[in-house]
Amino acid sequence: MASLSLSNSLTSLHSQILNQTSYTPSFNQLSFPKSPVFSTHLNTRFISNCASSPIDTNSSDDTPIELKYPAFPTVVDINKIREILPHRFPFLLVDRVIEYNPGVSAVGIKNVTINDNFFPGHFPDRPIMPGVLMVEAMAQVGGVVMLQPEVGGSRDNFVFAGVDKVRFRKPVVAGDTLVMRMTLTKLQKRFGIAKMDGKAYVGGEVVCEGEFILAMGNTD
C-alpha cells in the first residue's frame, strides 16, 4: 500500500515537472535582446542601396528622398558661360559654375547623360566618359577663372600648354554629376601663362586630378 502511494506521488511529481518545462510561449510573448547589430541589420538591409548617405536608424524623418537633397547653387549659368568660353556643342563641357572666387578658383559641374555624343562609341556596352574629355572639362572650368578681368585682362581665349601628373581614379558613367574644382596656383600675367591644380569629384570621391598649364591669348 505504501509503495503504491509512493508510486502515485512520483508520477504526480513527474507530470508537474513535465508541465513546467514543456511550456512554449507564443511568438508575441517572446522577448529578444536589444542588440544594436541585430536591429541595425534589420533596418538597413534593404535601404542601404537606396541612398548615397548613411541612414540614421533612429531618425524619424519621413521626408521623401526627392525632397532631401537641394540642387547645386548657380553662380554662373550656362548663358553666361557661353559668353565667357569660346567652346560650343559638342565641346562645351561645363553646364554650371557653382562657386567662383575671383582670380583664385572656380567649381563647375558637368551633368553626364547617356545623350552625350561620345557614349555611342565609348563604349557601346558600357558607357564611360573618356578621360581626355574629363581633362578638357576641367580645363574649361579653369578657363572661367583665367578669362575674367582680374586674371586675363582683355584676353578672350586660352589653350593647353601642358598637363602633368594626371590620374584617373574611378570611371565616370552616364548619370553621374562631375564636380570640378580648378585653383590658380601660379600666374605669369606678362606672358599669359597660368598654372592650376584641378580635381574632379563624383559623389564626393576624387575621380580625376592633375596639374594644368594654360596659355591665354586673343582670337585676333
Which residues are tagged catalytic?
122
**Type of residue found at 142:** G
Largest CA distance in the chain: 129
Measured distance CA(150)–CA(184) in Å, rounded: 12
- Give the residue among 139, 151, 157 at the shortest CA–CA distance from 102: 151
- Residue 51's CB: how many other CB atoms inside 10 A? 11
Give the SS3 label for residue 26.
coil
* 173 Cβ contact partners less than 8 Å away, ≥ 6 residues apart: 112, 126, 127, 128, 129
Measured distance CA(133)–CA(92) in Å, rounded: 10
Beta-ladder partners of 171: none
